[in-house]
A and B are shown apart, each in its own frame.
Chain A
Amino acid sequence: MVISEQGYVHWQGTFIERRFPWWPITRLGIRLAFKRKFFKFVFSISLLPAVMFSTGVYISERLDDFQFMLKGQDRLLEVNPAFFKSYFTSEPLLFLMVMIMVLAGAGLICDDLKYNSLQLYFSRPLRKRDYVLGKMATVFFFLLILTLVPGLLFVLLKLIFAGSFKFLANYPWIPVSVIAFSLLVTLFFAFYTLLVSSLSKNRRYVSILLFLVYIFSNVFFGIFYSIFHNPYFCLLSIQCDIQQVGAAFFRQSPHYDVPWIYSFLVLAAICCLSAFVLKRKIRGVEVVK
């Protein structure tokens, strides 16, 4: 007969749920990203396009002072919807965003799978959706710094340097487009990163895959387009899809003669695939021996 030293005492306290249970996951993701080699360097580099475009906003308001440099190319520095479209869909920016995901996002789920951390998370008061939200928020944190923050900064700088609200009066929808497109492109990249990150336990493979899928989708488009001259092959390219949708959001004509909604649907389909895979991959570790 077991003799117990102390009778069981019922817990008297009240359990307070965290308001944002996903935040510790996000904070850990951000902290671990800054520990990675080269991350700080690449992150700093990725801010350069924003610095260049901010300088462009300043010069656009001081055209007379910079005529010696512009030599009649003033049109290029006009701050209008095309300026925003150029920033948000520029190849260097998209490439740097992919590099940020390779360095900061590749390990988000793959490391948890590798280190068996899911069982520690899910034996705590943390829902699976909070876990995914926390991981996504890590990607959001980095990518919004490259999209939303500069986008709104350009609007603000334009207003400050112009000293009037004429820009907003001409294009009142620009801030909404900046916010909507930043969120859309970040949401897509977050789903894309988590999808690839959940496919392997090896961060190196995930990093390579993140990079190669993005690059090769573009390469395949280039090959097929040069053979068949059919613009619909642009749907194969992640970069082109983002650029097509970006053009529509900033009311510009798309680069390829394909309805932007098709590109939007391709991006949405990748997000849906990601959600499906994440639902299957992120669950309690089942033991089969």
Chain B
Amino acid sequence: MTAVIQTKNLSKWYGNVLGLSDVSLEVEQGVTGLLGPNGAGKSTFLKLITGQIKPSIGHVAIQGQDVWNNYPLFGRIGFCPEQDAFYDEMTGWEFMTSLLSLYSFSRADVQSRAEKALDFVELAKDKDRLIRGYSRGMRQRLKLAQAVAHDPEIIILDEPLNGLDPLSKRKVIRLIKDYKEAGKTVIVSSHVLPEIEALTRTIILLHQGKILARGDIHYIRDLIDKHPHMISVKCSDPRRLASSLVGEPSVLNIQFGPAPDTVVFETQDRDKFFGLIPRLIVDHRIDVEEITSPDDNLQAVFDYLVGK
């Protein structure tokens, strides 16, 4: 398959701060997940491949063409930034049409594309409302709409699921999958592994400006599964729950605290553990307030991968 995006020895410094170091890779058609903790260099990488900032060393090419200062090429890219980028005093419709008019579309085309994109992200009925009154999910979908309204071949989404409620997340995930099925190239960045897992199996792991791993997400999953997991349960009777799991071979360690109603389990088989928990809760009639995984985040995976 042809590589759509190619980077070679791509590096970027901000003064003395290293943003990205010696990144050489090829991105093919489909959805590619860009994973990394905050400050890993994801946004820098996305700004470099969208031609917004100039590489310090190396180069980026899209479909064989250098990106930097190649303005006509930008018409084929759709970019959804991480931060909000709206004029609050504009309506969704004004926002969409003003951005679409930067392309060489006719007035009628601008309007039909704006309508189509707003319809696509289910904002058509709210298009005449001021953006100031939009919810977080609506703003995120509007950002997505502006990225796809001109029907780009390459869509770059920087943390598109950040801060969304579960329902909005499902909608955005469905939209991204629709684009994948339409044969587009989509790069999605996130620092939350399960979000990327819901979208694609092809991932690039960035850490401290360097590529730590890339390939199939199952490879990373295996690494995670070998790594003991901490699972914290806040409930009405933590000692009773702990006693029921003492004999379970997958549980390696049990600790109480830091809060009096919290118990922390260490397990090597997270899936099995999560399979057991609901039954025990029902059997022992324990009221559960919260189940969290203190180390189920990318930083923990990275720490594990880099041997910290």
Interface residues of A (CB under 8 A from B): 1-2, 4-11, 15-18, 21, 24-25, 27-28, 31-32, 35, 111, 115-117, 119-127, 283-289
Interface residues of B (CB under 8 A from A): 1-2, 4, 14, 17, 19, 28-30, 38-39, 43-44, 47, 50-53, 63, 71-72, 74-77, 79, 81, 83-90, 94, 98-99, 101-104, 146, 153, 156, 180-183, 185, 200-202, 216
Distance in Å from the Cβ of A279 to the closest Cβ of chain B?
A: 14
Contacts of B30 in A (CB 8 A): 2, 4
The answer on a CB contact under 8 Å between B29 and A24 is no
Distance in Å from the Cβ of B174 to the closest Cβ of chain A?
A: 15
Distance in Å from the Cβ of A125 to the closest Cβ of chain B?
A: 5
Our pick among B1, B74, B183 for the contact of A124 (Cβ within 8 Å) is: B74
The answer on a CB contact under 8 Å between A18 and B104 is yes
CB nearest neighbor in B for A131: B102
Distance in Å from the Cβ of A95 to the closest Cβ of chain B?
A: 27
A99 to B72, CA, bound (A): 38
Contacts of B181 in A (CB 8 A): 5-6
Contacts of A115 in B (CB 8 A): 84-88
Distance in Å from the Cβ of A109 to the closest Cβ of chain B?
A: 13
The answer on a CB contact under 8 Å between A123 and B104 is no
Our pick among A31, A111, A124 for the contact of B102 (Cβ within 8 Å) is: A124
Our pick among B79, B101, B156 for the contact of A27 (Cβ within 8 Å) is: B101
CB nearest neighbor in A for B41: A287
The answer on a CB contact under 8 Å between B52 and A284 is yes
The answer on a CB contact under 8 Å between B85 and A11 is no
The answer on a CB contact under 8 Å between B74 and A287 is no
CB nearest neighbor in B for A2: B202
Chain B interface helix/strand/loop/mixed: loop
Contacts of A31 in B (CB 8 A): 94
> Known: A2-B202, A32-B87. Contact between A119 and B75, CB under 8 A?
no
The answer on a CB contact under 8 Å between A8 and B183 is yes
A-B contacts, 18 listed (Cβ < 8 Å): A6-B29, A8-B28, A10-B63, A17-B71, A24-B101, A27-B101, A28-B98, A119-B81, A122-B51, A123-B50, A123-B156, A124-B74, A125-B71, A127-B71, A284-B47, A284-B52, A285-B47, A287-B44
Distance in Å from the Cβ of A237 to the closest Cβ of chain B?
A: 35
With A8-B29, A11-B153 already in contact, 17 other A-B pairs whose C-beta atoms are closer than 8 Å: A2-B216, A4-B29, A8-B2, A24-B98, A115-B85, A116-B81, A116-B83, A119-B81, A120-B79, A122-B51, A125-B74, A125-B104, A284-B53, A286-B47, A286-B53, A288-B19, A289-B38
A8 to B26, CA, bound (A): 14
Contacts of A284 in B (CB 8 A): 47, 52-53
The answer on a CB contact under 8 Å between B183 and A9 is yes
Our pick among B85, B101, B202 for the contact of A120 (Cβ within 8 Å) is: B85
Contacts of A16 in B (CB 8 A): 104
A23 to B270, CA, bound (A): 57
Contacts of B182 in A (CB 8 A): 6
Our pick among A2, A21, A116, A123 for the contact of B51 (Cβ within 8 Å) is: A123
Distance in Å from the Cβ of A4 to the closest Cβ of chain B?
A: 5
CB nearest neighbor in A for B85: A116
Contacts of A124 in B (CB 8 A): 74-75, 99, 102-103
CB nearest neighbor in A for B48: A284
A123 to B104, CA, bound (A): 15
Our pick among A7, A120, A122, A125 for the contact of B146 (Cβ within 8 Å) is: A120
Distance in Å from the Cβ of A183 to the closest Cβ of chain B?
A: 27
- Which 3 pairs, one residue from A and one from B, show the smallest C-beta to C-beta distance? A284-B52, A6-B183, A123-B79
Contacts of B44 in A (CB 8 A): 286-287
Contacts of A121 in B (CB 8 A): 102
Our pick among B14, B17, B50, B85 for the contact of A117 (Cβ within 8 Å) is: B85
CB nearest neighbor in B for A117: B85
Q: Which of A9, A117, A123, A284 has the most CB of B within 10 A?
A: A123
Contacts of B74 in A (CB 8 A): 123-126
Contacts of A127 in B (CB 8 A): 71
Distance in Å from the Cβ of B265 to the closest Cβ of chain A?
A: 33
Contacts of A1 in B (CB 8 A): 216
Distance in Å from the Cβ of A128 to the closest Cβ of chain B?
A: 10
A27 to B51, CA, bound (A): 25
A151 to B85, CA, bound (A): 40
The answer on a CB contact under 8 Å between A126 and B71 is yes
Q: Which of A8, A35, A111 has the most CB of B within 10 A?
A: A8
A15 to B99, CA, bound (A): 17
Contacts of B99 in A (CB 8 A): 120, 124
CB nearest neighbor in B for A25: B102
The answer on a CB contact under 8 Å between B1 and A7 is yes
The answer on a CB contact under 8 Å between A122 and B52 is yes
Our pick among B1, B17, B75, B84 for the contact of A116 (Cβ within 8 Å) is: B84
The answer on a CB contact under 8 Å between B1 and A8 is yes
Distance in Å from the Cβ of B128 to the closest Cβ of chain A?
A: 14
Contacts of A289 in B (CB 8 A): 38-39
The answer on a CB contact under 8 Å between A15 and B104 is yes
A13 to B79, CA, bound (A): 20
A2 to B38, CA, bound (A): 27
Q: Which of A1, A15, A16, A126 has the most CB of B within 10 A?
A: A15
Distance in Å from the Cβ of B44 to the closest Cβ of chain A?
A: 5
